[in-house]
């Protein structure tokens, strides 16, 4: 029986099975337990890879891009302290009807007991065909801005207007594949 790098014995760790099921790193080809996949599995857990069905090819922690956001850092920190998965509170809004084609958005507000100051804001847009969505992630968005977007309609502003004015051109974004 292989010892896990974090000291847990297989069969005793309630979290066993998540990382171990990852077939191997798509970049370096190494497999658990030679490398860990905690960042990849955490990204799956927080819905970084939503919709579209298939999650992207796995990356081990060594090949995972360096933490760029506070959210990444908090997840890494939370998982360094404990093998339990980070408890993440996130907010998701769906069913938006907007001329900007935004249909849904999602962001984390807390990792464990830590309140985030910035977050990854995941935004879904209508695709070419009905029922098709394209997701973009906006990086280092202040949680306060995401919360203000969430609350925009209660202040008489539409989701689309708030997005266009406050978010669309204000943060780095990339399309999720
Ligand atoms: Zn790797």
For 142-169, what is each residue's pLDDT tens digit? 999 999 999 999 999 999 999 999 999 9
171 alpha carbon – ligand 1 mean position (Å): 29
27 alpha carbon – ligand 1 mean position (Å): 5
Letter string b/e over residues 54-67, b meaning 16 or more CB atoms within 10 A of that residue's CB: eeeebbbbebbeee
Structure tokens at 40: 């990849």
| pTM as predicted | 0.56
The residue whose two tokens read 């099975």 is 17
Helix (H) or strand (E) segment spanning residue 133: strand 133-142
Handedness of CA 118, 161, 171, 94 (dihedral sign): positive
| Model confidence pLDDT, tens digit, residues 67-83 | 566 677 777 666 555 55
DSSP at 165:
I
- If you average pLDDT over residues 98-124, what whole number do you get? 89
For residues 53 and 97, which has the higher predicted lDDT (pLDDT)? 97
DSSP per position, 79-128 = HHH-SSPPPEEEEEEE----TT-EEEEEEEEEETTEEPSEEEEEEEEE-S
115 alpha carbon – ligand 1 mean position (Å): 30
64 alpha carbon – ligand 1 mean position (Å): 7
| HEC profile of 139-151 | EEEEHHHHHHHHH
pLDDT exceeds 80 at position 115: yes
Residue 43 exposed, middle or buried by CB count within 10 Å (0-12, 13-18, 19+):
buried
80 alpha carbon – ligand 1 mean position (Å): 18
18 alpha carbon – ligand 1 mean position (Å): 17
For residues 19 and 99, which has the higher predicted lDDT (pLDDT)? 99
118 alpha carbon – ligand 1 mean position (Å): 27
What's the distance, CA 125 to chain centroid?
17
| Model confidence pLDDT, tens digit, residues 6-35 | 555 544 455 556 677 778 898 899 888 888
CB 159 within 8 A of CB 98: yes
117 alpha carbon – ligand 1 mean position (Å): 29
Q: How confident is the model at residue 44 (pLDDT cuts 50, 70, 90)?
A: confident
33 alpha carbon – ligand 1 mean position (Å): 12
What residues flank ion ligand 1 with Cβ within 5 A?
25, 27-28, 60, 63
47 alpha carbon – ligand 1 mean position (Å): 21
Helix (H) or strand (E) segment spanning residue 137: strand 133-142
- If you average pLDDT over residues 32-52, what whole number do you get? 73
């Amino acid at each position: 029986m292989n010892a896990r790098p974090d000291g847990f014995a297989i069969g005793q760790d309630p979290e066993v099975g998540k990382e171990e099921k990852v077939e191997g790193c798509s970049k370096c080809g190494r497999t658990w337990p030679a490398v860990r996949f905690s960042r990849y599995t955490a990204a799956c857990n927080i819905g970084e890879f939503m919709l579209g069905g298939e999650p992207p090819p796995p990356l081990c922690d060594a090949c995972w891009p360096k933490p760029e956001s506070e959210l990444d850092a908090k997840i890494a920190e939370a998982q360094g302290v404990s093998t339990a998965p980070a408890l993440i509170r996130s907010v998701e809004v769906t069913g938006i009807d907007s001329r900007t084609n935004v249909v849904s958005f999602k962001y984390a507000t807390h990792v464990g007991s830590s309140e985030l100051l910035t977050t990854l804001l995941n935004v879904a847009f209508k695709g070419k065909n009905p029922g098709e969505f394209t997701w973009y992630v906006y990086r280092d968005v202040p949680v306060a801005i995401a919360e203000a977007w969430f609350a925009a309609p209660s202040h008489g502003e539409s989701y689309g207007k708030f997005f266009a004015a406050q978010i669309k051109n204000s943060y780095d974004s990339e399309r999720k594949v």
